[in-house]
Amino acid sequence: MLYYLQDVIDGVLMGSIYGLLALGLTLIFGVLKVINFAHGSFLMLGMYVAYWTVSLTGLHPYLSLILVVPAMFLFGYGFQKALVQPIFKAESDVREPITVIIVTTGVWYILDNLALLLFGPDYRALTPNPLKGKMLELGEIFISLPKLYGCISALVTAGALTWFLRATRTGRAIRAVSLDREAASLMGISQWRIFAVAMGIGTSIAGISGVALTPFYNVYPTVGVPFDVKCFVIVVLGGLGSIPGAMLGGVIIGLVESLGPVFMTATWTEAIVYGLFLLFLFVKPSGLFGVKYDW
């Protein structure tokens, strides 16, 4: 029984970090209505920024957020302004320009290969790392402190994002644009500024996910690829544009990955994850908390 409880705890902790990363992706989709295939590469950038910040300054990994969050926000803001916005303007008669998907896919390959060129294929472990191997003992249950801190970061980020969207002027503007960008524009809201801010916030959340992962996960150029795939599954499970859905979807995937190998081989665990993805696409395309809108 304790063995299963240990697996459940591990699955919930890791799943919350998955949910944190998916949170940025679902926010970007909720506002721009396009899928950002470069989101995993943004995670990779965040991990490298955190890695080099800690390595060069000796700061605690979570103190690197002071640099990672603003750096990733500016990167996402600039990415939207320089690459995505011109496409939206050139294809103003198209609600969801397919060209954006092509561009983000290209950015994914460019960033991954640029990281490979600059840093090489080596797997890098965070040093110094005060959280390495640290465990919290609760009787016979052992809880990984790095993953626990990651879970706390996920909950705090989800709570802060929810408050921001509901209680601030910019947050309400983001919600207005996500519901009806034309009507929001008529009310004096600049959709282009909101698009850039939303992309910046989503990218900075990917950076926070990178900080949460680096204390126990190696950094390498293609580290974002497996997480990118999981993010899409999580967003579909939870519902496109839903914050609670992203967190719950992450926990579901984390539990499947943690408990699956207890009853079957690891390869079948991956099959279950993608099976859930296909099931929701057929049975409930809007996801657990998704709402049908006439986008």
Q: What is the DSSP string of 31-100?
A: HH-S--TTHHHHHHHHHHHHHHHHHHH---GGGGHHHHHHHHHHHHHHHIIIIIHHHHHHTTT-SS-HHH
Percent of the chain at pLDDT above 90? 54
Question: What pLDDT is stored for residue 273 in this prediction?
Answer: 80
Q: Which residue has the tokens 């909720």?
A: 30
More confident residue, 293 or 274: 274
Ordered alpha helix ranges (H), 188-242? 191-213, 224-238
Indicate if the pLDDT at residue 270 is higher than 80: no
**pLDDT for residue 294:** 41
Evaluate whether residue 291 is within a structural domain: no
CATH number for position 228? 1.10.3470
Residue 272, domain member (yes or no) = yes
Within-domain flag for 293? no
Residue-wise burial string across 5-21, b where 16 or more C-beta atoms lie within 10 A, e elsewhere:
eebebbbbbbbbbbbbb
Query: Of the given ranges (116-130, 206-220, 261-275), which has the lowest mean pLDDT?
Result: 261-275
Return mean pLDDT, the chain.
88
Over residues 270-290, the mean pLDDT reads 78
- Asked, for residue 149, whether it belongs to a domain, the answer is yes
Greater model confidence, 173 or 261: 173
Cα distance between residue 149 and residue 62, in whole Å:
9
Distance, CA of 164 to CA of 116 (rounded, Å): 36
In a domain, 139, yes or no: no
Say what the pLDDT of residue 162 is: 93
Indicate whether 266 pLDDT > 80.
no
Question: Considering its fold, how many domains does the chain have in total?
Answer: 1
Name the token pair of 8. 């459940």
Could you list the residue range(s) of the whole structural domain that residue 70 is in?
2-122+145-283
**pLDDT value for 292:** 56
Q: Which two tokens stand for residue 289?
A: 């908390």
Q: Does residue 97 lie in a domain region?
A: yes
Residue-wise pLDDT tens digits, 106-153? 999 999 999 999 999 999 999 889 988 888 888 788 889 999 999 999
